[in-house]
Chains A and B, each alone.
Chain A
Amino acid sequence: MSALVAPQAPAIDSKKTVRRELLHELLRSKAFLIGSAIVLTWVVCAIFRDFIVTFDPTDDNPFQQHRQPLTDQFLLGTDRLGRDVFSRVVGGARVILLIAPAATIIGTVLGVLLGLVMGYYRGVVDDVLGRLIEALLALPVILVALLALVSIGTGTLIVTFVIGLLFAPVIARTIRAAVLVERDLDYVRAAQLRGERGPYVMLVEILPNVVGPIIVEFTVRLGYAIFTLAGLSFLGFGSQPPSPDWGLMIAEERAVISAGIWWPSIFPAIAIASLVIGVILIADAIQAAFDR
């Protein structure tokens, strides 16, 4: 109802101002600023790892200083092999920030293509793919991933691809919904009525109009990719020792928490939590900005 919907900004805006508005909206959002600060910190850690770490993340400590508590030398203590926890946590950023975005990109590209095809063509294509996707989505991602990794074998590349493939159906479902809305708009009909072919309509007419949902979905999935990868590492099916992977570090050291040695597992736990939360805060802010 017109009277109850808050009036929108005037329609006369230039293309540049629309983008600037969006950016402005984001920069005014505390969630976005906090999220970006967290993510940027980890990105800096990943890129400038070698300038930040005080020890080599994978090197056993030559002085056999196992499970040292926090000291000036070992900022966050050492683990059971005497490795410096601080250096390992910093080094872990590089591991996750390589795999997670790669997997998410694979999933997004595949998912967007699937979503476009399903939403645009509907009919049999949609029915068949839709059933398949529903079947896949009946299984928690981590469960299928585990099954696949056990049967194929594990490795960084394989994990990346498996996660990417398993994310595609979720993304496809979201994009399909967005495409269905667009498909019912008359500009699509107008394109068909001037003789445009399917790929043109999908890629040139519809795709630019679903960029918003794609960006939001990408960011959200990036968060969950980190979440899932950490879970797989925790279970021992992700990165293998001696990689400074956060999930792996927790798995290796969690047994000794009861003995009061908390630092080798709690710090990587904080690292994972902060990175996922940072990414999700950004995703949430972007979604809010697009929804306006």
Chain B
Amino acid sequence: MSATDHALELDDLRLAYRVRGVDREVLRGVSLRVAPGEAYGLVGESGCGKSTAAYAIMRYLPGNGRITGGHVRIAGRDVTTLSGEELRALRARTVSMVYQDPGQALNPTIRVGPQVAEAFTVLGASRSEANDRALQMLRKVQIADPARVLHRYPHQLSGGMQQRVVIAMALASDPTLLILDEPTTGLDATVEAEVLDLVRTLRSEYGTTVLFISHNLGVIRKMCDRVGVLYAGKLVEEGPAERVFHDPRHPYTVGLLRCIPRRGAKKTARLDTIRGFLPLLGADLPTCVFVDRCGLADERCRTVEPPMIDLGDHATRCHHHERAQELPREEAAATPPAAATGDQPVLRLRNVSKTFRLAGHDVHALVDVSLDLRPGETVGLVGESGSGKTTLARAILGIHAPDDGGGIELDGAPIGATFAERSRAQVSAIQIVFQNPDSALNRRHAVRRIIGRALKKLAGLDGAEAERRILALTEAVRLTPRHLDMRPSQLSGGLKQRVAIARAFAGDPRVVVCDEPTSALDVSVQAAILNLLADLQRDRGVSYVFISHDLGVVRYLSDRIAVLYLGRLMEVGDAESVFSGPHHPYTEALLSAVPSIDGELTTRIRLEGEIPSATDPPAGCVFHTRCPRRLASGICETAEPPLVEVAPGRQMRCHIPLEELRALQGEG
């Protein structure tokens, strides 16, 4: 094949950042080819160089970044040798990009119309022509009322709308190559699904070649024909998406896939992890880049760099590719089930509501939530952003006092509305693990001090006894005493989260609120933290309130699921039945929005529009404005359905009877 046949070709691309006078290699010779019309996915954990590769293709690098070798060819033209003017023309006509965080990518002081029109004027269109085409383009990306949106400022649009505008700009020139860099990261799953659908539709319409960059294997699986797995600046495996995910031939890909809770895995089956840590940026990796973390590594791996081995249309950079899937597990496969737990709820929420006053309006963040949490149980809270998950967690912790008329009971006894009104025992009993360990740990305090202070305040321990307990806790969260004298900046993200978990467990809590505890972590680290949380629960009988936007993770750890929408419980039930159905229409929409690595066919139902404002919730069923299964009778618009028990242990807030939902959702 001649080079001109490829829409994109990276040929041994090498790139380094100069940090304190030293060149640190970030891309270590990446070669890949994308055929015209193909969608190619680049996956990898943070720091593997995938975004760097994207910007290198656009030749847009920070001041200290430099392409040190190799070539980038777009439709046969070598980007690395273009003049400034040629490069500008290339960006205007041939390559476009869609970015993570569309809110930042749009200029806050210019209206949407002129910003989109710019993409046309740069191609030589006149002002008025550009404006007309901007309007057409907004229509193309399925923005409702595009004429109005043209006159909006970016901050007046939702995240999903902003990303549509960015996509509209990117497709303005009908580019040969479209690069999408984590385009849906940070968006709700429902919005993500819509944006991904849009990209697919437009791709089939325009026949654009796509380079799709994501850390999310499910998204890549859904969007891409072929996929490349990047590790430490090197492509370690490449092939058709379906092949790579079902028949991985590199130990890293194998390990990565084992880290993710899939196919309804439960917390009794431990997730596998990848040992060790990502190599430091620009570290010297003369042979196999993965050798230090690989369970299959032998002498040959340490001395001879594996070439890219061709396995038909699939290729891998491993000496032992034929037995990659025999990679030994780092973790035992199964754990003994948890001890039987009591029936008396440890935590009971009774009619908890929370109303905020905001600029003269009442915001109903929580409306009449009643929920029990049994000892040793995990309740997963699920819902889009703005559904009230975080407010509920904060009410439990006593950060927000519930409105009058509702209350929280611990072991059958009512407790103070705020943490300041609670006794030490009550404060110790309910603790939290935060999302971001960087923010949750005081960066000026050593680990010993962080855990020690928690022991003093939560368990009342001092001196030698405290020291003994510090060591015990350290061991329980799989840290070593060596870590105690370190500060958070010396620890990796996963280790930091372990410190935060140790702190939460210092006072032998009954309930731990886990607020997206793994969202800031890479999947391989996430697996270890999920295992740890499961172990601690089994050993200590603690209950979790678990919040995550990742439904796979929620399903893995939760015994029961509570689905929130606009501050109201829409559905509560044990995890298995909530996930297997029949579902509440909202739950159904959430579930069908999740792209699966296994490529299982999900009957997608679309959510219309955006989550309404909690200041002015819709009349009737609050979900009716977006509900795809809204009843024709009109009852959904007028009467709010009660939350009723539809099956043993299963509550739902819907006018449609369970059997009818079962029939509609077409499964048993």
Chain A residues engaging chain B, CB cutoff 8 angstroms:
1-15, 18, 185-187, 189-196, 205, 208-209
B440 contacts chain A at the CB level, 8 A cutoff:
yes
24 contacting pairs across A/B (C-beta < 8 A): A1-B51, A1-B104, A3-B52, A4-B62, A6-B65, A7-B19, A7-B24, A7-B281, A8-B19, A9-B19, A11-B490, A11-B491, A12-B280, A12-B492, A13-B489, A185-B439, A187-B442, A189-B434, A190-B432, A190-B434, A194-B458, A195-B457, A209-B443, A209-B444
A residues less than 8 Å from B458 (CB atoms): 194-195
B residues less than 8 Å from A14 (CB atoms): 486, 490
**Do the beta carbons of A186 and B440 come within 8 Å of each other?**
yes
A residues less than 8 Å from B101 (CB atoms): 1
**Do the beta carbons of B419 and A192 come within 8 Å of each other?**
yes
B344 contacts chain A at the CB level, 8 A cutoff:
no
**Do the beta carbons of A6 and B441 come within 8 Å of each other?**
no
Partner of B99, one of A1, A13, A193, A196: A1
A residues less than 8 Å from B24 (CB atoms): 7
**Chain A contact residues: over half helix, strand or loop, or mixed?**
loop
**CB of A149, distance to nearest CB on chain B (Å):** 40
**Do the beta carbons of A4 and B444 come within 8 Å of each other?**
no
A residues less than 8 Å from B281 (CB atoms): 7, 10
The distance in angstroms between the C-alpha atoms of A285 and B26, with both chains bound, is 30
**Do the beta carbons of A186 and B443 come within 8 Å of each other?**
no
Partner of A1, one of B100, B439, B486, B503: B100
**CB of A209, distance to nearest CB on chain B (Å):** 6
Output the nearest chain B residue to A187 by Cβ-Cβ distance. B442
**Do the beta carbons of B489 and A11 come within 8 Å of each other?**
yes
B64 contacts chain A at the CB level, 8 A cutoff:
yes
A residues less than 8 Å from B453 (CB atoms): 194
The distance in angstroms between the C-alpha atoms of A191 and B420, with both chains bound, is 12
B635 contacts chain A at the CB level, 8 A cutoff:
no
A residues less than 8 Å from B280 (CB atoms): 10, 12
B428, B436, B444, B503: most-surrounded residue (chain A CB, <10 A): B444
**Do the beta carbons of B62 and A194 come within 8 Å of each other?**
no
B424 contacts chain A at the CB level, 8 A cutoff:
yes
A residues less than 8 Å from B181 (CB atoms): 3
Given A6-B17, A193-B397, A196-B457, does the pair A12, B490 have CB atoms closer than 8 Å? yes
The distance in angstroms between the C-alpha atoms of A13 and B51, with both chains bound, is 25
The distance in angstroms between the C-alpha atoms of A6 and B424, with both chains bound, is 46
**CB of B218, distance to nearest CB on chain A (Å):** 21
**Do the beta carbons of A15 and B17 come within 8 Å of each other?**
no
The distance in angstroms between the C-alpha atoms of A195 and B456, with both chains bound, is 11
Partner of A194, one of B52, B64, B427, B442: B427
B residues less than 8 Å from A8 (CB atoms): 19
Chain B residues engaging chain A, CB cutoff 8 angstroms:
17, 19-20, 24, 26, 46, 51-52, 54-55, 60-65, 99-101, 104, 181, 280-281, 397-399, 419, 424, 427-428, 431-432, 434-436, 439-445, 453-454, 457-458, 486-487, 489-492, 500, 503, 507
The distance in angstroms between the C-alpha atoms of A194 and B399, with both chains bound, is 12
**Do the beta carbons of A13 and B490 come within 8 Å of each other?**
yes
**CB of A24, distance to nearest CB on chain B (Å):** 9
B residues less than 8 Å from A193 (CB atoms): 397-399, 419, 427, 431-432
**Do the beta carbons of A186 and B19 come within 8 Å of each other?**
no
**Do the beta carbons of A2 and B51 come within 8 Å of each other?**
yes
B residues less than 8 Å from A190 (CB atoms): 432, 434, 440, 500, 503
**Do the beta carbons of B489 and A3 come within 8 Å of each other?**
no
**Do the beta carbons of A187 and B440 come within 8 Å of each other?**
yes
**CB of A177, distance to nearest CB on chain B (Å):** 18
**Do the beta carbons of B52 and A195 come within 8 Å of each other?**
no
B residues less than 8 Å from A10 (CB atoms): 280-281
> How many residue pairs at the A-B interface have CB separations less than 8 Å?
98
The distance in angstroms between the C-alpha atoms of A185 and B437, with both chains bound, is 10
Given A194-B427, A195-B427, does the pair A3, B55 have CB atoms closer than 8 Å? yes
**CB of B194, distance to nearest CB on chain A (Å):** 23
The distance in angstroms between the C-alpha atoms of A205 and B440, with both chains bound, is 12
Output the nearest chain B residue to A210 by Cβ-Cβ distance. B444
A residues less than 8 Å from B399 (CB atoms): 189, 193
**Do the beta carbons of A186 and B490 come within 8 Å of each other?**
no
A residues less than 8 Å from B439 (CB atoms): 185-187
The distance in angstroms between the C-alpha atoms of A209 and B398, with both chains bound, is 26
**CB of B15, distance to nearest CB on chain A (Å):** 10
The distance in angstroms between the C-alpha atoms of A3 and B60, with both chains bound, is 9
The distance in angstroms between the C-alpha atoms of A112 and B55, with both chains bound, is 43
The distance in angstroms between the C-alpha atoms of A189 and B440, with both chains bound, is 8
**CB of B401, distance to nearest CB on chain A (Å):** 14
A residues less than 8 Å from B454 (CB atoms): 194
B46, B458, B490: most-surrounded residue (chain A CB, <10 A): B490
**Do the beta carbons of A18 and B440 come within 8 Å of each other?**
no
A residues less than 8 Å from B54 (CB atoms): 3
The distance in angstroms between the C-alpha atoms of A14 and B503, with both chains bound, is 22
Output the nearest chain A residue to B446 by Cβ-Cβ distance. A15
**CB of B116, distance to nearest CB on chain A (Å):** 21
Knowing that A7-B26, A11-B491 are A-B contacts, what are 11 other residue pairs whose CB atoms are under 8 Å apart, sorted by A's residue number?
A1-B99, A1-B101, A3-B181, A4-B60, A6-B62, A12-B490, A186-B439, A194-B427, A208-B442, A209-B443, A209-B444
The distance in angstroms between the C-alpha atoms of A291 and B436, with both chains bound, is 22
**CB of A16, distance to nearest CB on chain B (Å):** 11
The distance in angstroms between the C-alpha atoms of A141 and B552, with both chains bound, is 60
The distance in angstroms between the C-alpha atoms of A208 and B52, with both chains bound, is 35
* 5 A-B pairs with the lowest CB-CB distances in the bound complex, closest first: A208-B444, A186-B440, A3-B51, A186-B434, A194-B457
The distance in angstroms between the C-alpha atoms of A205 and B424, with both chains bound, is 20
**CB of B18, distance to nearest CB on chain A (Å):** 8
**Do the beta carbons of B62 and A5 come within 8 Å of each other?**
yes
**Do the beta carbons of A11 and B492 come within 8 Å of each other?**
yes
**CB of B549, distance to nearest CB on chain A (Å):** 18
Given A2-B51, A7-B17, A186-B439, does the pair A195, B444 have CB atoms closer than 8 Å? no
The distance in angstroms between the C-alpha atoms of A6 and B507, with both chains bound, is 41
The distance in angstroms between the C-alpha atoms of A14 and B371, with both chains bound, is 46
The distance in angstroms between the C-alpha atoms of A14 and B487, with both chains bound, is 8
**Do the beta carbons of A6 and B63 come within 8 Å of each other?**
yes
B20, B104, B397, B399: most-surrounded residue (chain A CB, <10 A): B20
Output the nearest chain A residue to B46 by Cβ-Cβ distance. A2
The distance in angstroms between the C-alpha atoms of A193 and B492, with both chains bound, is 25
The distance in angstroms between the C-alpha atoms of A14 and B398, with both chains bound, is 37
**CB of B498, distance to nearest CB on chain A (Å):** 15
**CB of A90, distance to nearest CB on chain B (Å):** 41
**CB of A128, distance to nearest CB on chain B (Å):** 21
A residues less than 8 Å from B432 (CB atoms): 189-190, 193
Output the nearest chain A residue to B282 by Cβ-Cβ distance. A7
**CB of A85, distance to nearest CB on chain B (Å):** 46
**Do the beta carbons of B441 and A187 come within 8 Å of each other?**
yes
**CB of A210, distance to nearest CB on chain B (Å):** 10
**CB of B73, distance to nearest CB on chain A (Å):** 20
B residues less than 8 Å from A189 (CB atoms): 399, 432, 434
A5, A10, A193: most-surrounded residue (chain B CB, <10 A): A193
The distance in angstroms between the C-alpha atoms of A208 and B487, with both chains bound, is 13
